[in-house]
Amino acid sequence: LILSVPRDSAALSVGAEEVADAIAAEAGRRGVALDMMRTGSRGMFWLEPLVEVVRDGVRHAFGPVTAADVPGLFDAGFGDAHPLALGPTEVIPYLAEQERLTFVRCGITDPLSVADYRAHGGFAGLEKALALEPAAICDEVKDSGLRGRGGAGFPTGIKWRTVLEAPGDLKFICCNADEGDSGTFADRMIMEGDPFLLIEGMTIAALAVGAAEGFVYIRSEYPHAVATMREAIRLAEAEGWLGADMHGSGRSFHLEVRVGAGAYICGEETSMLESLEGRRGEVRPKPPLPALEGLFGKPTVVNNVLSLCAVPVILERGAAFYRDFGVGHSRGTQPFQLAGNIKRGGLVEKAFGISLHDLVYRFGGGTASGRPVKAVQAGGPLGAYLPESLFHLPKDYEAFAAEEAMVGHGGLVVFDDTADMAAQARFAMEFCAIESCGKCTPCRIGSTRGVEVIDRIRAGTDVDGNMALLDDLCTLMADGSLCAMGGLTPMPVRSALKHFPEDFHRPRQAAP
Ligand code: NAI
pLDDT digits (tens, 9 = 90+) for 151-181: 999 999 999 999 999 999 999 999 999 999 9
Residue-level pLDDT at 508: 67
pLDDT digits (tens, 9 = 90+) for 422-477: 999 999 999 999 999 999 999 999 999 999 999 999 999 999 999 999 999 999 99
CA–CA distance, 475 with 473 (Å, rounded to integer): 5
Torsion sign, CA atoms 69, 70, 71, 75: positive
Residue-level pLDDT at 467: 96
CA–CA distance, 144 with 371 (Å, rounded to integer): 41
- Could you identify the atom of ligand 1 that is nearest to the CA of residue 179? 40
Distance of CA 318 to the CA centre of its chain: 24
pLDDT digits (tens, 9 = 90+) for 256-303: 999 999 999 999 999 999 999 999 999 999 999 999 999 999 999 999
**Residue type for 460, please?**
G
Contact 255, 215 (CB under 8 A): yes
CA 152–ligand 1 middle distance (angstroms): 4
Q: Is 296 in the pocket of ligand 1 (CB under 6 A)?
A: no
Ligand 1: which residue has its CA nearest to atom 23? 152
CA 285–ligand 1 middle distance (angstroms): 13
CA–CA distance, 360 with 380 (Å, rounded to integer): 16
* DSSP conformational letter for 215: E
CA–CA distance, 152 with 61 (Å, rounded to integer): 37
Residue-level pLDDT at 505: 83
Other CB atoms within a 10 A radius of the CB of residue 468 amount to 12
Q: Is 187 in the pocket of ligand 1 (CB under 6 A)?
A: no
Torsion sign, CA atoms 292, 294, 299, 303: negative
Strand, helix or coil for residue 277: coil
Cis bond before residue 288 (omega within 30° of 0): yes
Question: β-strands 346-351, 330-331: how paired?
Answer: unpaired
Parts of the chain with a pLDDT under 70? 507-512
Mutation probe of ligand 1 site: the residue of 289, 303, 400, 413 with most atoms within 8 A of C-beta: 289
Q: Is 487 in the pocket of ligand 1 (CB under 6 A)?
A: no
Residue-level pLDDT at 350: 98
Contact 153, 147 (CB under 8 A): yes
Ligand 1: which residue has its CA nearest to atom 7? 154
Residue-level pLDDT at 510: 58
Contact 202, 216 (CB under 8 A): yes
Residue-level pLDDT at 506: 76
Residue-level pLDDT at 511: 54
Ligand 1: which residue has its CA nearest to atom 1? 152
CA–CA distance, 253 with 72 (Å, rounded to integer): 50
Mutation probe of ligand 1 site: the residue of 159, 265, 305 with most atoms within 8 A of C-beta: 159
